Structure 1
């Protein structure tokens, strides 16, 4: 069964989620679904609520209303650690990598294998990190190099690989291509394609580049004013349609403000 099959089981369902911060309503009534093995693009203007939604799905924020279902079972995500234990992980723009540590130490950060209960098993971490990255086609000259010496694309790939090999079944990518050059962006897009081909992980990508969304995603959702207003397979939409929707929203908001 392919990720684009409408009969594919949903690994994640978000139903009628709402969230306010004081007097600010971030999310009003958000419903979102993610099929097993699917790559979903989540787009929307700044302040639309994309990051808030991702932080609820990863356990960082608690919703004020609505519910979350994993594999059909309702769950209450108590924390980021709890969400990770259930297979949900997030890769943010800042990546949460430690620049002064090696690639292999970053790959096993906070879950290092040990010897005799206290000594880091560096040999095992080094071998596994090399094996993981090679298996995913991530080109890192040496797993011993400090992360600070790598390109942005290489660092992003390490963060994604770490999540995948920590047995994540749902991966949330928050602007993975932000501030990257064309060559580095291609590397990450290729990595997403490879993960999609494997079908082992379901992915939500927050992005502003609609062409890239259409290139690697199976379906796209548009978040506007705290709600999902558009949900289509990428094969049935276009950059023009997505751009027109956002431009129309901008013009409406500007008209409300007046001259």
Structure 2
């Protein structure tokens, strides 16, 4: 890919007291690309996501946005750049309808009164654009299936017109049909030009939608793999540590240098 990545992490390190959570982590994601971030429990995935989202400030390294170094110290900084993060807990209010959840904290008003008509119109327009099918935008979120709830959470993240969407385990605890709904939405995000980071433990989901897979192990990179030319076994070996820096060694053998 010749264009500069939307987001590039260069040598990112993060420490919590005596624990070194991340060490010299590198990651790139381009527009119209899904990069899966995988690794065993404790690999550093959540910490890395939170540095991108502005929950944690980095201790070392550089974050680049469109090739330009930027500082992300707060969630607001990430949102201003165009980064939206959907966490595993979704943070939806079960007793509020879909429109209310989409606009929670960013309600539209007209002459000091909530503009329910306009919020509903925009909600329908957004869901139609993302091809999200739900029974009604006026039913409580508690009435939706797990897959529908996940798509509503992703739709809410799109209100700020982000360029990068980070999805933290979006298919965890979902059934087959509900998982398919979410993966279809991930593909539509890519088709619409968004950069997507997909955090997942599910190799089938990763193989289904990701273009590349970045493996973290013990807070360090342990390979970046092209999904189309890499077997699931190779990726799992990098996750478990059966192979160390497999991609680096393979690149050295073939003369390939990854940027």
Partners in 2 of 1:65 and 1:249 — Cα distance? 28
Partners in 1 of 2:154 and 2:55 — Cα distance? 19
Contact kept, 8 Å, 1:88 with 1:170, in 2: the verdict is yes
Number of matched residues? 243
Q: Deviations over 1:20-72 (max 9, x none)?
A: 11111100110111111211000000000000000000100001111101111
Q: So what's the TM-score if we normalise by structure 2? A: 0.91
Partners in 1 of 2:240 and 2:69 — Cα distance? 37
| Equivalent residue number for residue 241 of structure 1 | 234
| Equivalent residue number for residue 255 of structure 1 | none
Structure 1 unpaired stretches of 5+: 1-5, 251-259
Structure 2 unpaired stretches of 5+: 244-259
| Partner SS state of residue 223, structure 2 | strand
| Equivalent residue number for residue 28 of structure 2 | 33
Q: Deviations over 1:59-88 (max 9, x none)?
A: 000011111011111111121122112111
| Equivalent residue number for residue 257 of structure 1 | none
Is structure 2 residue 101 aligned with structure 1 residue 109?
Answer: no
Which residue of the other structure, out of 124, 148, 164, is the alignment partner of 1:154? Answer: 148
| Equivalent residue number for residue 214 of structure 1 | 207
Contact kept, 8 Å, 1:214 with 1:238, in 2: the verdict is no
Q: So what's the TM-score if we normalise by structure 1? A: 0.91
| Equivalent residue number for residue 46 of structure 1 | 41
**C-alpha displacement of 1:232:** 1.8
The alignment yields a C-alpha RMSD, in angstroms, of: 1.3
Partners in 2 of 1:142 and 1:181 — Cα distance? 22
Contact kept, 8 Å, 1:17 with 1:65, in 2: the verdict is yes
| Partner SS state of residue 165, structure 1 | helix
Which 4+ residue blocks in structure 1 deviate beyond 6 angstroms? Answer: none
